[in-house]
């Protein structure tokens, strides 16, 4: 993050689209979102509740700032756009940040949005761990100690942390939606269980207002008093948004295929023939900010505890096959350094990336031979005691693309004398097994963030929950501590480079393919979608709060 940021126009995010000599932008009568929800809508719109927030935040409730993981400033830090705040500034050691709150914003019930709402929102989370979804008051790296209005300027809010908190900016400014004090703080609302408030008639500041909700569809209308609107420029340029509930992937895909929905966030198996070839107006752009990763149980499996075995697997598996055959090219092959490309190319150093793309059976054999493994008569390597290199990969039932990718992994590992077997479990069971360390190898998406540091840390920090294999390396922990204290993007890049080097050389986990944000869009009557050339936000309908940026950026042709 840059130490200071100021915002001029709220619509800076769409500035890039203005470079084209634009025809008059029309209103879009209706936009249909297509994304498998897996269940009927429960018609509750509580932005503090984890099961509601992915269709509530951004659409109805907004954060202070928008952090774009896909666009960097020249120094490599992610680009930020002022939203409900107009500016922020850190103190020197980044333990305190002051936000200037935007004037003239109204809640959709007509009440004015003020700094009081911001102070209320953050302080409410303090007393309610269930609503503090971002862990702002409990975070291990840094946590809030006070949030209060500036004593001299009632329009500013000061956030104080116990430690340098640059890494918390993304969670507090981008991921945390602001809720209205006059509703959430009203008498009779249990302030220790805010996340259980049904909030079925939501009042937000967002570009949309909820109109009609039933199990099969949510209908939103344009927020006619939206703060970005000016007399000669209506924002958003969408009159109505429909969000039907799809219980299965196939039924959601069919609606996209039939051009009945314009904004999709779906995995489609044969996307070329099923979606792209159907209409010249069907397009996709599927950027990634994290990797789909093989987690290795280093703490419990004596073979995987050996670096040579981990390296051999990483050399053996062919990431190009996993990408092309498994993911039909929709997810790019990963780098063993853990840096997602091209998203974070500013953080990548090809000289330390010695593994990509893998599929190198000879190299794997060399590593294993040097470590004293010999090939048995069955073609599988074993150690001096005869213990074979045979592992089970656990994956998620029903993720057909992952299944296909794992089949290519099994095939390429076999060529290198390593036996892998696949076992699928339902999502909840797999996560429980990951948390309990009940696996040998597990295939799951890593947890990323707006810079590569977030994913590297989640995978390698000895104290991280998502370091499922319990990899522990004091050198990594020191680097992480340094990063958290640092306020300079140059230092941070140097630290990430060292972490990426350890990731490549020590193989704590094996990134296989990048985890794409599925995104399909229809240009028949709508323009201004985010693209690879203009990646103004993460594009899937469930990317919160990026969805609000997309909604306020598209227009009718």
Partner 1 sequence: MRFIVRRMGLFLLTLWVALTLNFIIPRLMPGDAALAMWSHIHNATPQQLKALEAMFGTANQNPILAYIAYVGNCLTLNFGVTTDQVPVMTKIMQGLPWTLGLVGVSTVIAFSLGTLVGMYGAWRRGSWSDNLISPLLFIVTTFPVFFLGLVILLIFGVELQWFPQNHPYSNPPGLTLESAADIIYHAVLPGLTLVLTASGGWIYTMRNNMIATLSEDYVRMARAKGLSSWRIMLNYSARNAILPNLTGFAMQVGFILGGSILIEYIYSYQGLGYLFYQGTESRDLPLQQALFLLYTMAVLVCVLVADLLTAWLDPRTRDA
Q: Binding residues for partner 1, per CB under 8 A? A: 38-40, 42, 44, 46, 49-52, 54, 128-135, 138-139, 171, 195-196, 198, 214-216, 246-248, 250-251, 254, 289-290, 426-433, 435-436, 438, 447-448, 458, 464-466, 540, 542-543
- Closer residue to partner 1 in complex, CB, 211/216: 216
Task: Tell me how far, at minimum, the Cβ of 127 lies from partner 1, in Å.
Answer: 11
Is the separation of the CB atoms in 389 and 382 below 8 Å? yes
Is the separation of the CB atoms in 162 and 145 below 8 Å? yes
Cα separation, 549 vs 484, in Å, equals: 29
- Closer residue to partner 1 in complex, CB, 86/538: 538
Task: Tell me how far, at minimum, the Cβ of 480 lies from partner 1, in Å.
Answer: 14
Task: Tell me how far, at minimum, the Cβ of 446 lies from partner 1, in Å.
Answer: 10
- Closer residue to partner 1 in complex, CB, 430/512: 430
Concatenated DSSP letters for 99-113?
Answer: EEEPSS-B-TTSPBP
Tokens found for residue 193: 């269980």
Burial label for 349, CB within 10 Å (0-12, 13-18, 19+), is middle
- Closer residue to partner 1 in complex, CB, 410/431: 431
- Closer residue to partner 1 in complex, CB, 162/250: 250
Task: Tell me how far, at minimum, the Cβ of 284 lies from partner 1, in Å.
Answer: 17
Task: Tell me how far, at minimum, the Cβ of 458 lies from partner 1, in Å.
Answer: 7
- Closer residue to partner 1 in complex, CB, 18/436: 436
- Closer residue to partner 1 in complex, CB, 360/401: 401
- Closer residue to partner 1 in complex, CB, 32/526: 32
- Closer residue to partner 1 in complex, CB, 290/489: 290
Task: Tell me how far, at minimum, the Cβ of 132 lies from partner 1, in Å.
Answer: 6
Question: Strand, coil or helix: what is 144?
Answer: strand
Tokens found for residue 353: 């990336």
Task: Tell me how far, at minimum, the Cβ of 260 lies from partner 1, in Å.
Answer: 12
Instruction: Determine if residue 5 is left, alpha or beta; phi over 0 gives left, psi from -120 to 50 gives alpha, anything else beta.
Output: beta
Instruction: Give me the residue label for tokens 């507090």.
Output: 172
Cα separation, 141 vs 128, in Å, equals: 20
CA Rg value for the chain = 24
- Closer residue to partner 1 in complex, CB, 196/422: 196
Task: Tell me how far, at minimum, the Cβ of 250 lies from partner 1, in Å.
Answer: 8
Angle at 331 between CA 330 and CA 335, to 5 degrees: 155
Cα separation, 43 vs 215, in Å, equals: 7
Residue 294 CB: number of other CB atoms within 10 A? 26
- Closer residue to partner 1 in complex, CB, 305/431: 431
Task: Tell me how far, at minimum, the Cβ of 64 lies from partner 1, in Å.
Answer: 18
Q: Nearest CA to 290 among 466, 547, 541, 517?
A: 517
- Closer residue to partner 1 in complex, CB, 15/140: 140
Task: Tell me how far, at minimum, the Cβ of 415 lies from partner 1, in Å.
Answer: 32
CA distances from 506 to 446, 473, 510 (A): 18, 10, 10
Task: Tell me how far, at minimum, the Cβ of 113 lies from partner 1, in Å.
Answer: 24
Q: What is the 3-state secondary structure (H, E, C) of 473-517?
A: CHHHHHHHHHHHHCCCHHHHHHHHHHHHHHHHHHCCEEEEEEEEC
CA distances from 480 to 485, 497, 543, 545 (A): 9, 12, 27, 27
Backbone angles phi, psi at 489, to 5 degrees: -65, -30
Angle at 543 between CA 275 and CA 23, to 5 degrees: 65
Q: Nearest CA to 159 among 122, 124, 105, 121?
A: 122
Q: Nearest CA to 326 among 417, 395, 247?
A: 395
Task: Tell me how far, at minimum, the Cβ of 377 lies from partner 1, in Å.
Answer: 37
Cα separation, 47 vs 548, in Å, equals: 14
- Closer residue to partner 1 in complex, CB, 206/448: 448
Per-residue burial over 355-378, b = 16 or more CB atoms within 10 Å of its CB, e = otherwise: bbbbbbbebbbebbeeeebeeeee
Task: Tell me how far, at minimum, the Cβ of 483 lies from partner 1, in Å.
Answer: 17
The dihedral sign for the CA sequence 317, 323, 324, 325: positive
Task: Tell me how far, at minimum, the Cβ of 490 lies from partner 1, in Å.
Answer: 26
Pair type for strands 156-161 and 441-445? unpaired
- Closer residue to partner 1 in complex, CB, 132/327: 132
Consecutive H or E run containing 415: helix 400-415
């Amino acid at each position: 993050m840059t130490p200071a940021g100021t915002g001029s126009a709220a619509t800076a995010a769409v500035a890039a689209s203005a470079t084209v000599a634009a025809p008059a932008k029309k209103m879009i009568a209706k936009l249909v979102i297509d994304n498998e929800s897996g269940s009927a809508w429960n018609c509750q719109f509580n932005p503090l509740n984890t099961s509601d927030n992915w269709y509530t935040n951004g659409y109805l409730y907004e954060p202070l700032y928008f952090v774009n993981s896909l666009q960097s400033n020249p120094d490599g830090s992610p680009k930020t756009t002022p939203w409900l705040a107009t500016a922020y500034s850190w103190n020197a050691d980044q333990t305190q940040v002051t936000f200037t709150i935007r004037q003239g914003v109204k809640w959709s019930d007509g009440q004015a949005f003020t700094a009081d709402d911001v102070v209320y929102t953050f302080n409410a989370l303090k007393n309610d761990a269930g609503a503090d979804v971002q862990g702002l008051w409990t975070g291990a790296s840094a946590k809030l100690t006070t949030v209060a209005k500036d004593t001299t300027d009632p329009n500013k809010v000061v956030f104080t942390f116990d430690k340098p908190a640059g890494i918390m900016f993304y969670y507090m400014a981008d991921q945390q939606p602001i809720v209205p004090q006059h509703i959430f703080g009203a008498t009779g609302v249990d302030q220790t269980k805010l996340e259980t408030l049904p909030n079925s008639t939501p009042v937000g500041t967002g570009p949309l207002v909820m109109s009609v909700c039933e199990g099969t569809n949510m209908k939103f209308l344009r927020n006619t008093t939206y703060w970005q609107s000016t007399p000669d420029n209506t924002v958003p340029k969408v009159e109505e948004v429909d969000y039907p509930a799809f219980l299965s992937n196939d039924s959601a895909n069919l609606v996209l295929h039939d051009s009945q929905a314009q904004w999709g966030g779906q995995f489609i198996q044969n996307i070329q023939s099923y979606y792209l070839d159907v209409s010249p107006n069907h397009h996709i752009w599927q950027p990634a900010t994290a990797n789909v990763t093989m987690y290795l149980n280093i703490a419990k499996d004596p073979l995987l505890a050996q670096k040579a075995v981990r390296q051999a697997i990483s050399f053996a598996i062919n990431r190009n096959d996993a990408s092309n055959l498994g993911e039909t090219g929709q997810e790019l092959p990963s780098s063993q350094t853990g840096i997602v490309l091209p998203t974070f190319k500013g953080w990548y150093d090809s000289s330390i990336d010695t593994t990509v793309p893998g599929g190198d059976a000879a190299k794997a054999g060399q590593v294993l031979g040097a470590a004293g493994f010999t090939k048995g008569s069955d073609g599988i390597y074993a150690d001096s005691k005869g213990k074979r290199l045979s592992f089970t990969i656990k994956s998620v039932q029903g993720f057909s693309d992952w299944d296909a990718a794992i089949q290519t992994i099994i095939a390429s590992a076999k060529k290198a004398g390593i036996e892998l077997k696949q076992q699928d479990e339902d999502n909840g069971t797999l996560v429980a097994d990951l948390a309990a360390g009940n696996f040998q190898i597990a295939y799951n998406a890593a947890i990323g963030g707006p810079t590569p540091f977030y994913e590297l840390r989640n995978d390698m920090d000895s104290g991280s929950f998502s370091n499922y294999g319990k990899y522990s390396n004091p050198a990594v922990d020191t680097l992480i501590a340094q990063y958290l204290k640092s306020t300079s993007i140059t230092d941070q890049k140097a630290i990430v480079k060292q972490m990426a080097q350890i990731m490549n050389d020590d193989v704590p986990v094996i990134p296989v393919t990048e985890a794409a944000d599925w995104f399909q869009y229809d240009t028949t009557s709508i323009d201004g979608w985010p693209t690879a050339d203009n990646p103004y936000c993460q594009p899937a309908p469930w990317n919160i709060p990026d969805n609000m940026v997309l909604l306020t950026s598209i227009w009718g042709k």
